[in-house]
Amino acid sequence: MRCDYACGSHETLSRRSFLGGTAAGALSMLGFNGMIHADSAKKLASQQKQVVVFWLSGGVSQLETWDPKPGAETGGPFLSIPTSAPGVQISELLPYTAQQMHHLALVRGINTKENNHGKGAYIMQTGRKQQPGFAYPYLGSTFSHHLAPPNSPLPGYISVGAGGSSAESTFLGPRHAPLVLADGRAPNNLDRHDALSEERDLLRRTLRSKISQRFEQKRKTAHTEVYNESFDQAAALMSRSDIFDFSKFSDKDLERYGKHDFGRHCLMARQLVEKGVTFVKVGHTNYDTHSENFNFHIEQLGEFDRPFATFISDLYDRGLLEHTLIICMCEFGRTPRINSRIGRDHWGTAWSIALGGAGIKGGAVSGKTNETGTKVIDREVNGGHLFHTYYQAVGLDSTEEFYPNGQPIAKADPKTEPIKEILA
Amino acid sequence: MFQQNMRVYVSLLVVFLCPAFAPQTARANSSTDSAAPLVAKKPTLPVARRISPLIDELIQSGMQDYAKVASPVCSDSEFVRRVYLDLTGRIPTVAQTRAFLNDTSADKRAVLVDQLLNSPEYARHLSQRLDVMLMERLRKKYINVTDWEEFLRESVAENKPLDQLVREIMSADGADPKQQAAARFFLARDGDVNELTRDISRIFLGADLTCAQCHDHPEVADWKQDHYYGISAFLVRSFVFTDKKKKQTVFAEKAEGEVKFESVFEVRDKTSKGPETTLPVVFNGPKVAEPAFKKGEEYKVKPAKDVRPVPKYSRRAQLGDALTSSNNKRFARTMANRLWALVMGRGIVHPLDADHADNPPSHPKLLDLLTEELIAGNYDLKWYLRELVLSKTYQRSSTNELFASKSAQELADAQFTHAILKPLTPEQFSRSVLEATGQAELYRNSLKQKLSEATLRKNLVGYERQFVSLFGGLPGEPVEGFETTADQSLYLSNNGAIQGILSPRSGNTADRVLKIPADQPALIAEELYLSVLNRRPEATETKEVAELLSGKTGKERSEMVSDLIWALMMSSEFRFNH
């Protein structure tokens, strides 16, 4: 049974938003000519870094994952289990993940003070509270902008089974908007038409862009910019169509990851990371458990646990984990109070996320909630702290600023700082 | 046939029309339009007054420097392309383009507008726009999509008043075979009260009340939970019922049932007053009271197993009237705004479903005028659209010297100082690709005597569907802004359906271009540019074409022509209605 809270539908990001578009509004407002690319030295140093976000949409329960309270009135029926990280216990619903805990750190003191799906998702993916008149880029676009090698034919930000909107990149431009793999498929029409030689194809494109340029003189170009960019992206994707060949997973791998969409999406993410894609978002959905919270979490986490753990262990085995930051998060946690429908509602006041890999101290825990999980009692953090942490984990200075249109925009909320105790 | 007759028709109109009484004459003359089996009936609505000049006045007064910074009136080339796209959903053919550009009469723009408004293509195009507005490309459920499309097309063709159309849709339950198609609005949404409440308020009332389902809207002070449930209350007794004997699914109704609501926030705060109920009501209008019946006497047909109940009093039957009643200006205002956005590229209230105090219209007086006039004009779509497209505001060029300079930021789209670039809709894009390549012309020629809007569309609809699936957005979701996707550009670049129509075939664009002698590059460039971009080439463009084709013969030359057509057709100039 799906919990049908209409408000959440605002965050339903469209399958089809690929390479930019509604970014146009923000682009035109800010004009992105003024953007400064001067942080190139830092960029060089961190060029190898990659990021993978697991997005558990709807809001997974912290009590059934990273911050269990067995025995408390709010604790629910599940026990906690020891993990591969000494002294760290998590919910028994995550037995495979528990074995990878030495690679993961937990942040248990999050208070984003936001119980709305859309606004919560915004905070977690931009590090800011939503405010009228200004749109911050989402982290996929931000890290694509900072970490993707210049002129790379690879898209900097690919979203697998997690939706994504072209509006996410805002002033960073369509180049850094998510490429959404619809239904976890590679894009169609990736191969050049038989009738065309490479030379003809190139000539057509060159002509196309020349004709467009003539039209764009003296016209407002926010939309056309995005349209032109999409042809460049198409050409780039064609030249690297190998990254989308998902046909060669071994039976053994398919078995290890599980024969369901999420398992397959994790395998796809592994391949994208291996092939050098800078930022990958993988989605797992339906955690909005206003009723039947516990049954839902058995089911959902039962599907999530093993592929997630296998992904981390595979990345480690292949030497990729040391330069790949993993973030497992969602828009908010769930209420300690169990409602009359055996559900838990929206709760941004005291909840947790997990992160691991590049720049993260495996097995570390930051923050603490009280016995019933209703309040953060130690090391309270919000979206700003998390963003400083992500930046610093991949070796970027989070105190710098963007300069869209010459206006300084802090990369992460200057009133906050990184969560140093979990940084390696 | 339509196309063959067009020139004759244009000249007829030129002879008969005189600008002073243009609207009346156009109406009277529309019956002489021999364009064909599908032509609009003669409108019977009273002639409403000209409001184009008022529109321009009110737009101009919205900005101090307007006269100084506004773009000039667009060229004939810009106009002919724009108005064909907006009123018929495709670019003009090369012959239509030439005819218009060569026409020297002073009132040719008004003449063309009347001609297009009375064409069968207008009925198809506008009904498609209404379809997308009403159904947001929801897939088939119970009702045949083709029947619904035909219902809309006929309604537009006979220029049915828009409020009447909406009342017909809101009252259709699908039981009467004659109105069955109109029940698609309810049935495709599976009669879901929340989905219908959301869509009715968004589409007809300019208010996305989604967030007011669980609590008063957190961001919009004007929108309360009561508004949401006021609409829901019309629908709460209705449900989808399948008559097994008749094998028919209808939107049936019970005689009892109330909406109950409480804020999810209040529950959490323990301050809840307990669930509330409301009578049906459209926003702040009067609540629709209902007659009381003695217990046991509420039904004409009592509910029973496999029997469709029929209550004596239908709550839902009140919905259409309440929505379109003079008590509710929101309906006319939202429709005026939506139709404005359709041709101008942006609403006066924008976004279109965010009409509330914190998001005021860019030109409040203008929106008031349009609302009043739409009501006074009896929701006459043709008249309203005619007034919009004959305004100077509509006819401004999309170019503006200021865009090249730093002060471009002064030119906000909301001031309507210039024509806003409108991305072609999937239908416009596919149809225009077929016109530009001459593929549509091939079909016209092959249909000959049987040529009508309907037969032509039947031949082209396969292409249209491909474009709709790629460019049309998610079913059930409104299109917001301009989105480009990798799938789209890869399709345009590599798919066989596009590549296939570029090569020369007798009578198509590539064929016509290749038949022009190689020593006449100016004519070649002109044919290419008029066919694809509906304008004559600039000198540099002619030179470019000449250089690219120079010395090329046979297959090489033919390929270059196809590549040129592709490049022109994929340019921003083609992708946008400018």
Pair A272, A158: CB distance under 8 Å: yes
Whether the pLDDT of residue A222 is over 80: the answer is yes
From CA B546, how far away is CA B540, in angstroms rounded?
10
CB contact residues (below 8 A), chain B span 173-212, against chain A: 194, 198, 210-211
| Residues contacting B166, CB < 8 A, separation 6+ | B204, B320, B323, B324, B331
Q: Which of A3, A16, A374 to mutate to test the interface with B (most CBs of B within 10 A)?
A: A16
| Digit-coded pLDDT (tens) for A398-409 | 999 988 877 788
Pair A278, A146: CB distance under 8 Å: no
| Residues contacting B83, CB < 8 A, separation 6+ | B109, B112, B113, B116, B389
Q: DSSP strand E in B348-443: where? A: 422-423
- Is B484 close to A215, i.e. CB distance below 8 A? no
Q: Count Cβ atoms below 10 Å from residue B26 Cβ, excluding itself.
A: 24
Chain B residues near residue A345 by CB distance under 8 angstroms: 264, 268
CA distance A246 to chain B (A): 17
Strand partners, A107: A353, A366
Pair B240, B231: CB distance under 8 Å: no
- Strand A351-357 and strand A324-329: the pairing is antiparallel
Exposure on the CB side of residue B294, measured as CA atoms within 13 A: 1
| Residues contacting B473, CB < 8 A, separation 6+ | A14, A16, B136, B137, B479, B483
CA distance B571 to chain A (A): 5
At B80 the three-state DSSP class reads helix
From CA A175, how far away is CA A177, in angstroms rounded?
6
Pair B31, B40: CB distance under 8 Å: no
More confident residue, B197 or A37: B197
From CA B399, how far away is CA B416, in angstroms rounded?
12
CB contact residues (below 8 A), chain B span 381-400, against chain A: 398-400
CB contact residues (below 8 A), chain A span 140-199, against chain B: 166-167, 174, 179-180, 182, 187-193, 195-196
DSSP 3-state percent helix, strand, coil across chain B (nearest 5): 55, 5, 40
CA distance A280 to chain B (A): 17
- Both tokens of residue A412? 């992460």
> Which of A33-37, A254-258, A347-351, B573-577 is the least confident region?
A33-37
Q: Count Cβ atoms below 10 Å from residue B158 Cβ, excluding itself.
A: 13
- Is A19 close to B489, i.e. CB distance below 8 A? yes
| Digit-coded pLDDT (tens) for B136-150 | 999 999 999 999 999
Pair B74, B395: CB distance under 8 Å: yes
From CA B114, how far away is CA B128, in angstroms rounded?
20
| Burial of A291 from C-beta contacts in 10 A (0-12 / 13-18 / 19+) | middle
Whether the pLDDT of residue A345 is over 60: the answer is yes
Which bin fits B507, alpha (ψ -120 to 50), beta or left (φ > 0)? Answer: left
Q: Does B219 touch chain A (CB under 8 A)?
A: no
Average per-residue pLDDT for chain A: 87
From CA B26, how far away is CA B117, in angstroms rounded?
10
Within A281-403, residue ranges assigned H as helices are 293-317, 383-393
CB contact residues (below 8 A), chain B span 532-571, against chain A: 538, 541, 544, 548, 559, 563-564, 566-568, 570-571
Q: Does B487 touch chain A (CB under 8 A)?
A: yes
Mean pLDDT of A184-207: 92
- Both tokens of residue A141? 């676009």
Within A2-129, residue ranges assigned H as helices are 23-30, 40-45, 95-98, 117-126
The one-letter code for the residue type at B131 is: D
Whether the pLDDT of residue A33 is over 60: the answer is no
Which bin fits A179, alpha (ψ -120 to 50), beta or left (φ > 0)? Answer: beta
Taking alpha carbons only, the member of B118, B117, B47, B55 closest to residue B376 is B47
With a cut of 70, which residues of chain B have pLDDT below it? 1-48, 264-273, 406-410
From CA A75, how far away is CA A337, in angstroms rounded?
9
* Placement of tokens 């919905």 in the chain: B319
Q: CA angle B554-B558-B562, nearest 5°?
A: 170
From CA A195, how far away is CA B342, in angstroms rounded?
39
From CA B467, how far away is CA B488, in angstroms rounded?
9
CA distance A293 to chain B (A): 17
Pair A151, A123: CB distance under 8 Å: no
For B408, the closest chain A residue by CA position comes to A220
More confident residue, A346 or B327: A346
- Is B490 close to A167, i.e. CB distance below 8 A? no
Q: In chain B, what are the domain boundaries?
A: 171-324
Q: Which of B77, B216, B467, B483 to mutate to test the interface with A (most CBs of A within 10 A)?
A: B483
CB contact residues (below 8 A), chain B span 242-281, against chain A: 264, 268
Chain A residues near residue B570 by CB distance under 8 angstroms: 204, 208, 231
Q: Count Cβ atoms below 10 Å from residue A222 Cβ, excluding itself.
A: 21
Taking alpha carbons only, the member of A182, A148, A132 closest to residue A162 is A182
Pair B285, B327: CB distance under 8 Å: yes
Handedness of CA A296, A302, A305, A311 (dihedral sign): negative
Which domains does chain A show, CATH number per domain? 49-185+246-422 (3.40.720.10), 188-243 (no CATH)
- Is A6 close to B578, i.e. CB distance below 8 A? no
At B7 the three-state DSSP class reads helix
Which residue among A25, A203, A216 sits closest to B481, beta carbon to beta carbon?
A25
CA distance B422 to chain A (A): 9
From CA B567, how far away is CA B562, in angstroms rounded?
9
From CA B322, how far away is CA B235, in angstroms rounded?
13
Which residue among A193, A211, A217 sits closest to B496, beta carbon to beta carbon?
A193
- Strand A279-284 and strand A50-56: the pairing is parallel
**Element of type H or E holding B528:** helix B521-532
Per-residue model confidence (pLDDT) at position A329: 98
- Is A7 close to B213, i.e. CB distance below 8 A? yes
Which residue among B486, B494, B563 sits closest to A191, beta carbon to beta carbon?
B494
Taking alpha carbons only, the member of A297, A231, A269, A358 closest to residue A63 is A297
* Placement of tokens 């309810």 in the chain: B186
Which residue among B403, B409, B572 sits closest to A218, beta carbon to beta carbon?
B403
| Digit-coded pLDDT (tens) for A107-154 | 999 999 999 898 999 999 999 998 876 789 999 999 999 999 877 888
C-alpha dist (Å) from residue B292 to A210, B258, B279, B314: 72, 14, 13, 12
CB contact residues (below 8 A), chain B span 85-124, against chain A: none
From CA B15, how far away is CA B390, in angstroms rounded?
20
| Burial of B564 from C-beta contacts in 10 A (0-12 / 13-18 / 19+) | buried
From CA B374, how far away is CA B380, in angstroms rounded?
7
Q: Does A31 touch chain B (CB under 8 A)?
A: yes
- Is A15 close to B474, i.e. CB distance below 8 A? yes
From CA B205, how far away is CA B381, in angstroms rounded?
18
The one-letter code for the residue type at A240 is: R
- Is A212 close to B409, i.e. CB distance below 8 A? no
From CA B513, how far away is CA A267, in angstroms rounded?
51
Taking alpha carbons only, the member of B532, B539, B489 closest to residue B508 is B532
From CA B325, how far away is CA B330, in angstroms rounded?
10
What's the DSSP call for residue B93?
P
- Is A21 close to B481, i.e. CB distance below 8 A? yes
- Is A22 close to B483, i.e. CB distance below 8 A? yes
CB contact residues (below 8 A), chain A span 79-108, against chain B: none
Taking alpha carbons only, the member of B232, B222, B221 closest to residue B261 is B232
Which bin fits B205, alpha (ψ -120 to 50), beta or left (φ > 0)? Answer: alpha
Q: DSSP strand E in B95-211: where? A: none
CA distance B434 to chain A (A): 18
Per-residue model confidence (pLDDT) at position A164: 85
pLDDT band at residue A170 under the 50/70/90 scheme: confident
- Is B484 close to A212, i.e. CB distance below 8 A? no
CB contact residues (below 8 A), chain A span 109-148, against chain B: 116
**Element of type H or E holding B558:** helix B554-569
Q: CA angle B70-B72-B75, nearest 5°?
A: 150
- Both tokens of residue A186? 């590679």
For B422, the closest chain A residue by CA position comes to A223
Mean pLDDT of A300-307: 97
Chain A residues near residue B198 by CB distance under 8 angstroms: 6
Q: Enter the ipTM.
A: 0.88
Per-residue model confidence (pLDDT) at position B165: 97
Which residue among B400, B483, B563 sits closest to A166, beta carbon to beta carbon?
B483
